[in-house]
């Protein structure tokens, strides 16, 4: 068992907590949670608890937005053929479904001769980003404009080719650009551009596309309320791309979840039914219920299945697509399990790999569609930056994943001399290199990680909001805490620690793996706790009369019409 580090978030000054508690009439514990999230005044609390669409930023604050709207307007007015081009992951497919769906339904009014077409590259034949096949298709078939969503910022060569062949580009991306080497697009919408003054930098690709549609609506007097039904797609991108649930993302996620729970589009409804997602949808259910299925289309076959599912209004067609995608997801799980086992065995059998500060593995027959998942699985056991590579078109192509606090993009950038191309974010990236360069890259990457990573980043950690006496858990406390949702990065579900708790009765094994205990503190009632996969580590170490500490989140358990608090264990310290 790898011991987890319990990292307590800083407790704000007492006067600040008191100020929040008095301003909105909440307990000290709730006020502490809010102050930790930067909520210090009544107005900030109001904006946090009651997200308002009117607080979305003016889209024209984004660099090149005016140019993008002007070019899009010209294309629509002149009947130019427009290609909506997106990546094959959740962010890319939701981007395409949002942009294509809105233009087709509300700008072209579903005209039979609508000059719109969407394009998703084949993960295996074309790879990530703007592909040569895609731009050649556009040039050969008379498209005048390509709008790339969730990709394009690093596609200088392909966009240059398109420009030379009479095809313009509007890039809508959110990946980190090389500000000294931007592609020659008509407009580049990316809030992470160094010269972009847009106030919020953490939009998804779908979010950037949504802002372009918002700007188009403002310019042409189209009611922005027509955009609201597309927020179920935007929240799906926000949840699955693991971006901060702050600022505009929080507002769009809040209303997107409302849409998902009250009137989801036909395709998402079919997908929810296929995934047996019962009850209220939240960010976690989107990430683990919808995300893997949408991704599976592009991982196993082609992401067109996902886009068609998200666009259809026909229930029977949606059910068929959802069933196809469910089959893809089952296949994906098989590849994922087998390759993960193989990768872990390689590390286990090699003393050098086992003791390294990073993991770089290559096997030419690993399925390209699941290597990112495999990298994440390896990190679960060996907590360090990990890159999994496979062969693709004669090159090594891979996915990188990182650990909290370590910028894997920067580390890869230091190894650029060994790479053909790379791109991504702080905690996840993609890269391509010559197979002959793998060992050189592995050595350089290990050297960079070894030099830059902090010792504590190499062991798993749990971020803890505060210590909580069990007696403080109440209906009111839980109700207010739930109003802090949607939860996600930078507004995670609050995690608590209760010290000196005692067993009430004996520990119980559930399905031989999962732990169920009842605990209490002096003066408190007993609470049921559930710890998934915790039997092996803790079952024989908990004894009545011996105090221990628990780290947990609070949920409501409903059984036979009765509701009770249930503490979901993250760790135990005996």
**What's the pLDDT tens digit per position in 74-103?**
999 999 999 999 999 999 999 999 999 999
Q: Are residues 70 and 198 in the same domain?
A: yes
Q: Check which CATH number belongs to the domain holding 501 and give it.
A: 2.40.50.460
Q: Are residues 24 and 71 in the same domain?
A: no
- Tokens encoding 485: 């949702």
Distance of CA 158 to the CA centre of its chain: 27
Task: Note whether residue 301 is domain-resident.
Answer: no
Q: Are residues 473 and 433 in the same domain?
A: no
pLDDT of residue 109: 86
CA angle 57, 63, 68 (to 5 degrees): 95
Distance of CA 441 to the CA centre of its chain: 28
* Structural domain count, the chain: 3
Please return the burial class of 203, using the count of CB atoms within 10 Å of its CB with bins 0-12, 13-18 and 19+: buried
Task: Note whether residue 478 is domain-resident.
Answer: yes
**What's the pLDDT tens digit per position in 326-360?**
999 999 999 999 999 999 999 999 999 999 999 99
Per-residue tens of pLDDT for the chain, all 574 residues = 578 999 999 999 999 999 999 999 999 999 999 999 999 999 999 999 999 999 999 999 999 999 999 999 999 999 999 999 999 999 999 999 999 999 999 999 877 788 999 999 998 888 888 999 999 999 999 999 999 999 999 999 999 999 999 999 999 999 999 889 999 999 999 999 999 999 999 999 999 999 999 999 999 999 999 999 999 999 999 999 989 999 999 999 999 999 999 999 999 999 999 999 988 999 999 999 999 999 999 988 899 999 999 999 999 999 999 999 999 999 999 999 999 999 999 999 999 999 999 999 999 999 998 999 999 999 999 999 999 999 998 999 999 999 999 999 999 999 999 999 998 888 899 999 999 999 999 999 999 999 999 999 999 999 999 999 999 999 999 999 999 999 999 999 999 999 999 999 999 999 989 999 999 999 999 999 999 999 988 888 898 889 999 999 999 998 887 889 999 999 999 9
CA atoms within 13 Å, Cβ hemisphere of 473: 27
Q: Are residues 521 and 372 in the same domain?
A: no
Per the CB < 8 A criterion, the answer to whether 521 and 501 are in contact is yes
Separation of alpha carbons 462 and 456, rounded Å: 12
- Map residue 48 onto helix, strand or coil: helix
pLDDT of residue 380: 92
Separation of alpha carbons 146 and 85, rounded Å: 7
- Compute φ and ψ for 6, nearest 5 degrees: -95, 115
State the average pLDDT for the chain: 95
CA angle 250, 253, 256 (to 5 degrees): 150
Written in H, E and C, the secondary structure of 330-343 is HHHHHHHHHHHHHH
Q: Is 570 left (phi over 0), alpha (psi -120 to 50) or beta?
A: alpha
pLDDT of residue 286: 97
- For tokens 């599912």, the residue is 309
Which residues contact residue 167 at a Cβ distance below 8 angstroms, ignoring those fewer than 6 apart?
Answer: 135, 138, 139, 143, 144, 145, 146
Task: Note whether residue 294 is domain-resident.
Answer: no
Task: Note whether residue 298 is domain-resident.
Answer: no
Which residues contact residue 441 at a Cβ distance below 8 angstroms, ignoring those fewer than 6 apart?
Answer: 360, 415, 418, 419, 433
Is omega for the bond preceding 486 within 30 degrees of 0, making it cis? yes
Domain end marker among 429, 458, 487: 458
**Owning domain of residue 453:** 350-458
Q: Are residues 203 and 130 in the same domain?
A: yes
Q: Are residues 209 and 65 in the same domain?
A: yes
- Map residue 213 onto helix, strand or coil: helix
Q: Are residues 210 and 70 in the same domain?
A: yes
pLDDT of residue 559: 82
Per the CB < 8 A criterion, the answer to whether 375 and 401 are in contact is yes
Per the CB < 8 A criterion, the answer to whether 270 and 309 are in contact is yes
Per the CB < 8 A criterion, the answer to whether 438 and 360 are in contact is yes
Task: Note whether residue 34 is domain-resident.
Answer: yes
Which residues contact residue 288 at a Cβ distance below 8 angstroms, ignoring those fewer than 6 apart?
Answer: none
Q: Are residues 519 and 448 in the same domain?
A: no
Task: Note whether residue 113 is domain-resident.
Answer: yes
Instruction: Of 223, 152, 222, 207, give the one whose Cα is nearest residue 185.
Output: 152
Please tell me what DSSP assigns to residue 574: -
Domain end marker among 211, 226, 241: 226
Q: Are residues 451 and 467 in the same domain?
A: no
pLDDT of residue 539: 87
Q: Check which CATH number belongs to the domain holding 69 and give it.
A: 3.90.1640.30
Please tell me what DSSP assigns to residue 290: I
Which residues contact residue 358 at a Cβ distance below 8 angstroms, ignoring those fewer than 6 apart?
Answer: 384, 385, 386, 387, 445, 446, 449, 450
CA angle 559, 562, 568 (to 5 degrees): 60
The pTM score is 0.91
C-beta neighbour count of 84 within 10 angstroms: 26
Per the CB < 8 A criterion, the answer to whether 376 and 469 are in contact is no
Q: Are residues 453 and 487 in the same domain?
A: no
Domain end marker among 226, 255, 282: 226
Q: Are residues 398 and 411 in the same domain?
A: yes
- Tokens encoding 463: 């971020």
Q: Check which CATH number belongs to the domain holding 433 and give it.
A: 3.10.310.30
pLDDT of residue 1: 59
What DSSP string runs through 453-477? --GGGGS-EEEE-EE--GGG--HHH
Q: Are residues 213 and 78 in the same domain?
A: yes
Task: Note whether residue 122 is domain-resident.
Answer: yes
Separation of alpha carbons 348 and 351, rounded Å: 7
Per the CB < 8 A criterion, the answer to whether 461 and 404 are in contact is yes
Separation of alpha carbons 481 and 485, rounded Å: 8
Task: Note whether residue 332 is domain-resident.
Answer: no
- For tokens 């006067």, the residue is 15
pLDDT of residue 353: 94
């Amino acid at each position: 068992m790898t011991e987890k580090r319990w990292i307590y978030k800083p407790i704000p000054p007492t006067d600040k907590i008191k100020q929040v508690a008095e301003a909105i009439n909440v307990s000290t514990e709730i006020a502490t949670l809010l102050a930790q999230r930067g909520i210090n005044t009544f107005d900030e609390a109001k904006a946090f608890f009651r997200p308002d669409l009117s607080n979305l930023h003016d889209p024209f604050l984004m660099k090149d937005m005016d140019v993008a709207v002007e070019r899009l307007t010209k294309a629509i007015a002149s009947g130019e053929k427009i290609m909506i081009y997106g990546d094959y992951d959740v962010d890319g497919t939701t981007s395409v479904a949002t942009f294509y769906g809105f233009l087709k339904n509300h700008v072209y009014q579903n005209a039979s001769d609508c000059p719109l077409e969407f394009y998703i590259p084949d993960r295996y034949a074309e790879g990530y980003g703007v592909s040569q096949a895609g731009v050649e298709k556009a040039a050969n078939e008379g498209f005048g404009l390509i709008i790339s969503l969730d990709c394009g910022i690093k596609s200088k060569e392909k966009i240059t080719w398109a420009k030379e062949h009479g095809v313009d580009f509007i890039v809508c991306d959110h990946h980190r650009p090389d500000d000294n080497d931007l592609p020659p697009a008509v407009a580049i919408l990316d809030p992470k551009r160094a010269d972009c003054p847009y106030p919020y930098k953490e939009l998804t690709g779908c979010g950037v596309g949504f802002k372009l549609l918002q700007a188009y609506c403002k310019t042409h007097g189209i009611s922005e309320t027509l955009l609201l039904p597309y927020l179920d797609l935007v929240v799906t991108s926000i949840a699955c791309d693991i971006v901060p649930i702050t600022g505009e993302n929080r507002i769009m996620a809040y209303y997107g979840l409302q849409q998902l729970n009250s009137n989801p589009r036909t395709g998402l409804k079919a997908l929810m039914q296929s995934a047996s997602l019962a009850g209220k949808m939240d960010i976690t259910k989107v990430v683990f219920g919808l995300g893997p299925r949408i991704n599976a289309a592009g991982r196993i076959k082609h992401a067109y299945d996902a886009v068609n599912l998200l666009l259809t209004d026909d229930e029977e067609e949606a059910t068929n697509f959802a069933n196809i995608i469910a089959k893809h997801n089952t296949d994906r799980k098989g590849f994922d399990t087998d390759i993960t086992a193989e990768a872990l065995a390689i590390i286990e059998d090699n003393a050098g790999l086992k003791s390294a500060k990073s993991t770089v593995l290559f096997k030419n027959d690993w399925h390209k569609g699941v290597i990112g998942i495999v990298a994440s699985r390896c990190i679960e056991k060996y907590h360090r930056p990990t890159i999994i590579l496979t062969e693709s078109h004669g090159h090594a192509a891979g996915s990188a994943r990182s650990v909290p606090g370590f910028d894997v993009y920067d580390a890869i950038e230091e190894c650029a001399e060994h790479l053909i191309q790379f791109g991504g974010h702080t905690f996840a990236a993609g890269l391509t290199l010559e197979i002959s360069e793998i060992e050189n890259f592995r050595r350089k990457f290990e050297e960079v990680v070894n030099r830059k990573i902090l010792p504590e980043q190499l062991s798993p950690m749990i971020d803890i909001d505060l210590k909580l006496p069990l007696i403080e858990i109440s209906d009111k406390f839980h109700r207010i805490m739930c109003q802090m949702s949607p939860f996600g990065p930078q507004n995670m579900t609050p995690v608590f620690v209760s010290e000196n708790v005692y067993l009430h009765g004996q520990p119980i094994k559930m399905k031989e793996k999962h732990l169920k205990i009842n605990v209490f503190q002096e003066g408190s009632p007993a609470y049921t706790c559930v710890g998934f996969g915790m039997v092996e580590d803790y079952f024989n170490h908990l004894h009545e009369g011996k105090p221990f500490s628990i780290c947990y989140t609070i949920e409501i358990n409903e059984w036979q019409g009765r509701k009770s608090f249930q503490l979901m264990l993250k760790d135990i310290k005996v």
